[in-house]
Amino acid sequence: LAAVDPRVLALAAQVTESREQDIPLLLLKLKGILNIASLGREESKKIKQDIYNYDLTQYCLLVLRQDHSRLRGGWATAAQLAEILSHCCVGLEVKEDTEEFYKKFLPSAIDNLLFLGRRLQARFIRAMKDEEKQDFLRWFQTVTDAICWLFGGHIQLAACVLQNDHFLQLLITDDVETAIKMMSVLHNILRVNSSVLLQVDEETLHSVLDELVYKLSSTTNPVLGNAATKLLLLVAKFCKQLVKLLTARYKGLKGLLSKQWTGKGFDRDLSQLLDLLDLEQSSGKGEMQRQHQAACIIQATWRGFLTRKRLKKLPQAVTALQRSFRAKREQELQYLKKQKEDEALKLQMQLQRQRAMRLFHERQLALLEIIHASQVNKYMEEMEGKSALTIQRFWRGYRARRNFHQQRQSLKEYKAAVVIQRAACKFLEKRRRRRPLSSWKDPKGLTDEQRLALQQKVDDYIKLHPASQMSEEMSKELHMQAQEKLAQFLLRSRLDQRAAQRRETLLAQVNTDVELLMNAPGLAEIMEKDLDVFMSRSVPVATKARQSHNTMLKYTRCPWWKKLGDEFVEDDVIPDDALNAELGTLFIGGKK
């Protein structure tokens, strides 16, 4: 193995032992080492290999992501580190972990360089002083040159640059100077790898072409227009397949180029681009004409076939049309007839309702004329009661019908459930009947050991719970007491039964008397044959009733001056001292 360069080894040791903010300035020493090594090719490869092996390129890669406005050296150091990183990666031959270098390290280097370019572009646009703007533009140029140098040494990185989001953001800018530099980067990409646009995805290709055409249509700067025109010409020359895309996707591109950019100082490139577009458009027109003629022939043949087919079916179509017209006209006539009948029915119902209301009011007025003035309120109350009953009857009927309609679905579901349950029960019953009866198996008897264990348990229980012994005298005495209690119970139940029969008889007699009293006729209507019904079989009761009746008659026939003290007594009430009897237990027939 060859010895490691002492300068690289010393620098790696310093970077490892230094603080983070001092690392960018230390890494600038790589530029002097690379300049000395450029004298010999083998020596340059050896030094670049040592730099990569001691992770100095990884340090450069990580430093590019930092915010250099807060670090020593500023953005100038970042631009120089970008240049150093690109020179370290170009010409480097990695013998170990080649996949990691080509698929991870190099794409990361491109991404960090483009990210640094975006930061420098943003600060260039925000800068106010001319001197500061020039510095940022110079550093931005250094970074773009480093990117071009890097993908120039590794051609596979051209597609990686185009597909990077930072590259598209750098290209999509309104600043003229940075836009020109980014289009120069795109120009170098196409010169390095002319088929790179066919390798990227369709979205990236459309984004790049859209931005170039937008710059041609939105600016009048000849430098920017010249750069965009050269790029489109390069795309059209190197990628013949993209000429069709330009003519199909940007239909007004030819007119835009000829009207807006003619005579701006790059007519040669412009005329070449227009010739390519015209050639593609003319070939496309010839193809379109042939396709148009073929389409016309196909359409004519198809229309003729449809016409002949329609003529064959014309009689059937006319018949169907007439049938549908007549059916529609008949439907309209029926609808109009039904509408007229409904209107006539509504009018008739309204007239009947008005006539009924008028007759009702006339009858009510006639009844009011017949009825005495003192009975009007009573009559009105009766009519209100009847009206209320009618309204309630109709309302209950409406509510019952509404509830029935609402519950119809639930009733259907209930009936369906009953039918399903009945069918299921029948099915289960049939299956149970069809199932063969299992043969009877005698129960297993007890073994001798089980029988002995059971007998032992019975004996133990009898010992723990012995039966109580009773003498013969005590048994006889207990028997006599039971017989006495039984006789007393039977006697008492017989007496209670007689008392209940007596109460039922008295209750029936009272109910009969009450019914007779309620249905008794008045004094003016009573007949002699009705007296027997109210005559009591008991002589004392009849005598007492006769005396009470005579007393009541005397009291009612008394002159008015004997009743002066009874002004506040009701007419139907007779004083107790006048009757001198308990009238609550006697009946007074008739009504006053």
Model confidence pLDDT, tens digit, residues 462-474: 888 876 667 788 8
Residue 335 confidence (pLDDT) above 50: yes
Q: What is the largest CA-CA distance in the chain?
A: 167
Closest CA to 286 of 274, 275, 294, 298: 294
Residue 345's pLDDT band (boundaries 50, 70, 90)? very high
Query: What's the confidence (pLDDT) of residue 78?
Result: 83
Query: What's the confidence (pLDDT) of residue 419?
Result: 94
Percent of the chain scoring above 90 in pLDDT: 14
Residue 37 confidence (pLDDT) above 80: no
What does the pLDDT average to over 31-38?
A: 69
Query: What's the confidence (pLDDT) of residue 253?
Result: 75
Model confidence pLDDT, tens digit, residues 213-262: 888 788 888 888 888 888 888 888 777 777 777 777 777 777 777 777 77
Residue 587's pLDDT band (boundaries 50, 70, 90)? very low
Q: What are phi and psi of 281, to 5 degrees?
A: -70, -40
Query: What's the confidence (pLDDT) of residue 589?
Result: 41
Query: What's the confidence (pLDDT) of residue 138?
Result: 85
Query: What's the confidence (pLDDT) of residue 565?
Result: 59
Average pLDDT of the chain to the nearest whole number: 79
Residue 439 confidence (pLDDT) above 70: no
Regarding predicted confidence, which is higher, 588 or 418? 418
What does the pLDDT average to over 396-419?
A: 88
b/e per residue 549-580 (b: at least 16 CB within 10 A): eebbeeeeeeeeeeeeeeeeeeeeebeeeebe
Residue 68 confidence (pLDDT) above 80: no
When mean pLDDT is compared across 8-12, 167-171, 344-348, 581-585, the lowest value belongs to 581-585
Residue 300 confidence (pLDDT) above 50: yes
When mean pLDDT is compared across 80-94, 505-519, 529-543, the lowest value belongs to 529-543
What does the pLDDT average to over 357-372?
A: 82
Q: How far apart are CA 124 and CA 138, in angstroms?
A: 10
Q: Are the beta carbons of 208 and 189 closer than 8 angstroms?
A: no
